[in-house]
Chains A and B, each alone.
Chain A
Amino acid sequence: DGGITQSPKYLFRKEGQNVTLSCEQNLNHDAMYWYRQDPGQGLRLIYYSQIVNDFQKGDIAEGYSVSREKKESFPLTVTSAQKNPTAFYLCASSSGTPTSYNEQFFGPGTRLTVL
């Protein structure tokens, strides 16, 4: 089955440590996205990539980094510079075909807790 996988589902890290969240898709989608979700704030865009080897900052990119070396993969690193990293992180992808412009498909999410 085609879809988006995120791992791990739950992640615990000590304050000051960098941590990398995995996102893989087998939908052959060109674009991939990372969102952060906090209670009462909806989804906020961290980074997005419309094509391999290219990515753009979203609304809350500070303290995060990404790479897009392969079409299927878009890992997110939460660095020690991120002041409040505890949150639910969602990865999404989209194809941009004429019948599905901007429609994004979401992974199951990773809940990061920094202790």
Chain B
Amino acid sequence: AQSVTQPDIHITVSEGASLELRCNYSYGATPYLFWYVQSPGQGLQLLLKYFSGDTLVQGIKGFEAEFKRSQSSFNLRKPSVHWSDAAEYFCAVGAGTNFGNEKLTFGTGTRLTIIP
């Protein structure tokens, strides 16, 4: 069974500082990996995804993530955070089948606080 670990429950960074959110997954084959963001009381919005190919993927809002198979990691990064980035971030893993529509397994989330 697949699983996802987000080791940081809460992270606080200063506006303009760089950010890295950690995600480790467990899955026997090549996974499909996702990062979603959630503002309070809202649904989830997809930031970026990895299926195959280039291990460094670019997403929306200036975010990027790097897939490292040897470390079973898919960490999310941003070079300079903005106050509007304050939210909860979820990493998710899906089975790499040919048919899609497989269920995703989500991590428990990392809450990001931005200080001026």
Is residue A94 within 8 Å, beta carbon to beta carbon, of the partner chain? yes
Taking the closest CB of chain B, its distance from the CB of A94, in whole angstroms, is 5
Residue of A nearest to B52 (CB): A101
Q: Interface size bucket, B side? A: 20 to 34
Chain B residues whose CB sits within 8 angstroms of the CB of A95 once the complex forms: 100-101
Inter-chain contact count A-B, CB under 8 Å? 70
Main secondary structure of the interface of B (DSSP, over half): loop
Which of A12-20, A41-49, A69-77, A78-86 is the interface stretch? A41-49
Which of B42-50, B53-61, B66-74, B77-85 is the interface stretch? B42-50
Q: A42-B90, A42-B106, A42-B107 are in contact. Are A103 and B46 (CB under 8 A)?
A: yes
Chain B residues whose CB sits within 8 angstroms of the CB of A108 once the complex forms: 42-43
Q: Interface size bucket, A side? A: 20 to 34
Interface residues of chain A, those whose CB is within 8 Å of chain B, are 4, 6, 30-31, 33, 35, 40-43, 45, 48, 50, 58, 88, 90, 92, 94-98, 100-109, 111
